[in-house]
Structure 1
Amino acid sequence: MTTETMRALVQLHDGYSGRQEGPQIDRLEPYVMMQEIAVPEPGPGKVLIKVAMAAINPSDLHFIKGEYGQPRRKGVPAGFEGVGTVASGNGAYAESLVGKRGRLHGRS
Protein backbone atom coordinates (compact mmCIF):
# COMPACT_ATOMS: atom_id res chain seq x y z
CA MET A 1 0.00 0.00 0.00
CA THR A 2 1.33 3.46 -0.91
CA THR A 3 0.17 6.97 0.00
CA GLU A 4 -1.71 7.00 -3.32
CA THR A 5 -3.68 3.87 -2.42
CA MET A 6 -5.84 2.66 0.45
CA ARG A 7 -7.54 -0.55 1.55
CA ALA A 8 -11.32 -0.66 1.33
CA LEU A 9 -14.23 -3.09 1.39
CA VAL A 10 -15.36 -2.62 -2.20
CA GLN A 11 -18.83 -3.36 -3.60
CA LEU A 12 -19.00 -6.28 -6.04
CA HIS A 13 -22.36 -5.36 -7.62
CA ASP A 14 -24.22 -2.43 -9.20
CA GLY A 15 -27.78 -1.31 -8.69
CA TYR A 16 -30.58 -2.94 -6.75
CA SER A 17 -30.98 -6.66 -6.12
CA GLY A 18 -34.76 -6.67 -6.55
CA ARG A 19 -35.12 -8.62 -3.29
CA GLN A 20 -35.88 -7.63 0.31
CA GLU A 21 -34.28 -10.26 2.54
CA GLY A 22 -33.41 -8.00 5.49
CA PRO A 23 -30.09 -7.07 7.08
CA GLN A 24 -29.02 -10.63 8.00
CA ILE A 25 -25.70 -11.56 6.34
CA ASP A 26 -23.88 -14.81 7.01
CA ARG A 27 -20.92 -14.13 4.67
CA LEU A 28 -19.58 -10.91 3.13
CA GLU A 29 -17.94 -12.63 0.14
CA PRO A 30 -20.97 -12.40 -2.17
CA TYR A 31 -21.23 -8.62 -1.64
CA VAL A 32 -17.85 -7.00 -0.88
CA MET A 33 -14.12 -7.74 -1.14
CA MET A 34 -11.09 -6.12 0.52
CA GLN A 35 -9.08 -4.36 -2.20
CA GLU A 36 -6.34 -1.79 -2.58
CA ILE A 37 -7.78 1.19 -4.48
CA ALA A 38 -6.69 4.71 -5.41
CA VAL A 39 -7.22 7.36 -2.73
CA PRO A 40 -10.06 9.57 -4.02
CA GLU A 41 -9.64 13.29 -4.64
CA PRO A 42 -12.25 15.40 -2.81
CA GLY A 43 -14.62 17.34 -5.06
CA PRO A 44 -15.30 21.09 -4.70
CA GLY A 45 -16.14 21.98 -1.10
CA LYS A 46 -15.51 18.38 0.03
CA VAL A 47 -12.94 16.80 2.35
CA LEU A 48 -11.16 13.46 2.44
CA ILE A 49 -11.31 11.78 5.85
CA LYS A 50 -8.73 9.19 6.90
CA VAL A 51 -11.10 6.83 8.71
CA ALA A 52 -10.08 5.60 12.16
CA MET A 53 -13.33 3.77 13.00
CA ALA A 54 -16.52 2.92 11.17
CA ALA A 55 -19.76 1.43 12.43
CA ILE A 56 -21.72 -1.25 10.63
CA ASN A 57 -25.43 -0.46 10.74
CA PRO A 58 -28.45 -2.29 9.29
CA SER A 59 -28.54 0.37 6.54
CA ASP A 60 -25.00 -0.65 5.49
CA LEU A 61 -26.04 -4.31 5.29
CA HIS A 62 -29.17 -3.48 3.27
CA PHE A 63 -27.02 -1.29 0.99
CA ILE A 64 -24.38 -3.91 0.14
CA LYS A 65 -27.20 -6.40 -0.53
CA GLY A 66 -28.87 -4.00 -2.98
CA GLU A 67 -31.94 -3.49 -0.79
CA TYR A 68 -31.41 0.15 0.22
CA GLY A 69 -32.97 3.37 -1.13
CA GLN A 70 -30.00 4.13 -3.37
CA PRO A 71 -28.25 1.82 -5.83
CA ARG A 72 -24.91 0.14 -5.21
CA ARG A 73 -21.93 1.10 -7.35
CA LYS A 74 -19.54 -1.69 -8.27
CA GLY A 75 -15.92 -0.96 -7.29
CA VAL A 76 -16.87 1.73 -4.72
CA PRO A 77 -16.19 1.35 -0.98
CA ALA A 78 -19.17 0.19 1.10
CA GLY A 79 -20.55 1.95 4.16
CA PHE A 80 -22.07 5.25 5.18
CA GLU A 81 -20.59 6.34 8.52
CA GLY A 82 -17.18 6.75 10.11
CA VAL A 83 -14.90 9.02 12.08
CA GLY A 84 -11.30 10.06 11.53
CA THR A 85 -9.03 12.96 10.62
CA VAL A 86 -9.51 15.31 7.68
CA ALA A 87 -6.58 14.48 5.38
CA SER A 88 -7.23 16.97 2.56
CA GLY A 89 -9.83 19.39 1.29
CA ASN A 90 -10.89 21.10 -1.91
CA GLY A 91 -11.61 24.82 -1.38
CA ALA A 92 -10.68 27.37 1.26
CA TYR A 93 -13.07 26.20 3.99
CA ALA A 94 -12.44 22.50 3.30
CA GLU A 95 -8.67 23.08 3.41
CA SER A 96 -9.02 24.87 6.78
CA LEU A 97 -10.35 21.60 8.25
CA VAL A 98 -7.22 19.55 7.43
CA GLY A 99 -5.89 17.87 10.58
CA LYS A 100 -9.20 18.18 12.47
CA ARG A 101 -11.42 15.34 13.53
CA GLY A 102 -14.13 14.63 10.99
CA ARG A 103 -17.28 12.54 10.79
CA LEU A 104 -18.40 10.81 7.63
CA HIS A 105 -22.16 10.44 7.21
CA GLY A 106 -23.69 9.46 3.89
CA ARG A 107 -22.24 9.50 0.40
CA SER A 108 -21.95 12.16 -2.25
Structure 2
Amino acid sequence: MKVDQKGHTVTIRDTQGDFTSFLMKVTHQYKTFEKHNIIIDLLMHNDLSTNDIKLFMPLSKQHKKAKKSFVIVTSDFDYNAVPAKLTVVPSLLEAHDIIEMEEIERDLGF
Protein backbone atom coordinates (compact mmCIF):
# COMPACT_ATOMS: atom_id res chain seq x y z
CA MET A 1 0.00 0.00 0.00
CA LYS A 2 1.39 3.37 -1.00
CA VAL A 3 0.07 6.61 0.47
CA ASP A 4 0.64 9.99 -1.19
CA GLN A 5 -0.50 13.19 0.47
CA LYS A 6 -1.05 16.28 -1.62
CA GLY A 7 -2.54 19.21 0.25
CA HIS A 8 -5.81 18.15 1.85
CA THR A 9 -6.06 14.90 -0.15
CA VAL A 10 -4.58 11.46 0.44
CA THR A 11 -4.23 8.98 -2.43
CA ILE A 12 -4.05 5.35 -1.29
CA ARG A 13 -2.71 2.95 -3.92
CA ASP A 14 -2.62 -0.84 -3.80
CA THR A 15 0.90 -2.07 -4.56
CA GLN A 16 0.44 -5.75 -3.68
CA GLY A 17 -2.30 -6.72 -6.14
CA ASP A 18 -4.37 -8.41 -3.41
CA PHE A 19 -7.70 -6.56 -3.22
CA THR A 20 -8.90 -8.21 0.01
CA SER A 21 -5.77 -7.44 2.02
CA PHE A 22 -5.73 -3.89 0.60
CA LEU A 23 -9.31 -3.33 1.76
CA MET A 24 -8.41 -4.64 5.23
CA LYS A 25 -5.33 -2.36 5.46
CA VAL A 26 -7.33 0.70 4.42
CA THR A 27 -10.06 -0.14 6.93
CA HIS A 28 -7.56 -0.74 9.75
CA GLN A 29 -5.61 2.44 9.07
CA TYR A 30 -8.66 4.62 8.39
CA LYS A 31 -8.12 6.74 11.52
CA THR A 32 -4.80 7.89 10.03
CA PHE A 33 -6.54 9.35 6.96
CA GLU A 34 -9.91 10.44 8.38
CA LYS A 35 -9.11 14.18 8.41
CA HIS A 36 -8.25 14.23 4.67
CA ASN A 37 -10.13 13.71 1.45
CA ILE A 38 -9.41 10.15 0.27
CA ILE A 39 -8.76 8.76 -3.20
CA ILE A 40 -8.65 4.96 -3.41
CA ASP A 41 -6.54 4.05 -6.46
CA LEU A 42 -7.58 0.63 -7.80
CA LEU A 43 -6.21 1.13 -11.33
CA MET A 44 -3.98 -1.96 -11.07
CA HIS A 45 -7.07 -4.20 -10.62
CA ASN A 46 -8.73 -5.01 -13.94
CA ASP A 47 -11.14 -7.65 -12.70
CA LEU A 48 -13.16 -5.88 -10.00
CA SER A 49 -16.87 -6.53 -9.69
CA THR A 50 -19.55 -4.15 -8.47
CA ASN A 51 -19.67 -6.15 -5.23
CA ASP A 52 -15.93 -5.56 -4.69
CA ILE A 53 -16.44 -1.81 -5.05
CA LYS A 54 -19.46 -1.91 -2.72
CA LEU A 55 -17.18 -3.21 0.06
CA PHE A 56 -15.94 0.38 0.40
CA MET A 57 -19.49 1.62 1.15
CA PRO A 58 -19.15 1.70 4.99
CA LEU A 59 -15.91 3.70 4.78
CA SER A 60 -17.42 6.04 2.22
CA LYS A 61 -20.52 6.69 4.35
CA GLN A 62 -18.43 7.33 7.46
CA HIS A 63 -16.10 9.66 5.59
CA LYS A 64 -18.87 11.67 3.94
CA LYS A 65 -20.58 12.11 7.33
CA ALA A 66 -17.37 13.84 8.43
CA LYS A 67 -17.77 16.25 5.46
CA LYS A 68 -14.83 14.82 3.50
CA SER A 69 -14.63 13.38 -0.02
CA PHE A 70 -14.14 9.67 -0.74
CA VAL A 71 -13.44 8.77 -4.37
CA ILE A 72 -12.59 5.38 -5.89
CA VAL A 73 -10.57 5.25 -9.12
CA THR A 74 -10.85 2.18 -11.34
CA SER A 75 -10.83 1.63 -15.09
CA ASP A 76 -12.78 -0.83 -17.26
CA PHE A 77 -15.83 -0.73 -15.04
CA ASP A 78 -19.60 -0.29 -15.42
CA TYR A 79 -20.00 3.00 -13.58
CA ASN A 80 -23.81 2.88 -13.89
CA ALA A 81 -23.93 -0.27 -11.73
CA VAL A 82 -22.41 1.52 -8.73
CA PRO A 83 -24.77 2.87 -6.05
CA ALA A 84 -25.17 6.65 -6.12
CA LYS A 85 -23.65 6.92 -2.63
CA LEU A 86 -20.25 5.79 -3.97
CA THR A 87 -18.16 8.05 -6.18
CA VAL A 88 -16.27 5.97 -8.76
CA VAL A 89 -14.29 7.56 -11.60
CA PRO A 90 -11.93 6.27 -14.33
CA SER A 91 -8.89 8.52 -13.71
CA LEU A 92 -6.92 10.22 -10.94
CA LEU A 93 -7.40 13.59 -12.64
CA GLU A 94 -11.18 13.15 -12.46
CA ALA A 95 -10.91 12.15 -8.79
CA HIS A 96 -9.04 15.37 -7.98
CA ASP A 97 -11.61 17.38 -9.96
CA ILE A 98 -14.50 15.78 -8.04
CA ILE A 99 -12.81 16.56 -4.72
CA GLU A 100 -12.24 20.16 -5.80
CA MET A 101 -15.93 20.54 -6.72
CA GLU A 102 -17.08 18.96 -3.46
CA GLU A 103 -14.76 21.29 -1.50
CA ILE A 104 -16.33 24.29 -3.23
CA GLU A 105 -19.82 22.97 -2.48
CA ARG A 106 -18.92 22.53 1.21
CA ASP A 107 -17.45 26.05 1.33
CA LEU A 108 -20.70 27.40 -0.11
CA GLY A 109 -22.73 25.48 2.47
CA PHE A 110 -24.36 22.80 0.29
Normalization by structure 2: what TM-score? 0.23
Name the larger-Rg structure.
Answer: 1
Please identify which structure carries the higher helix content: 2
Please identify which structure carries the higher strand content: 1
Normalization by structure 1: what TM-score? 0.24
Q: Which has the higher contact order (CA 8 A, sep 6+)?
A: 1
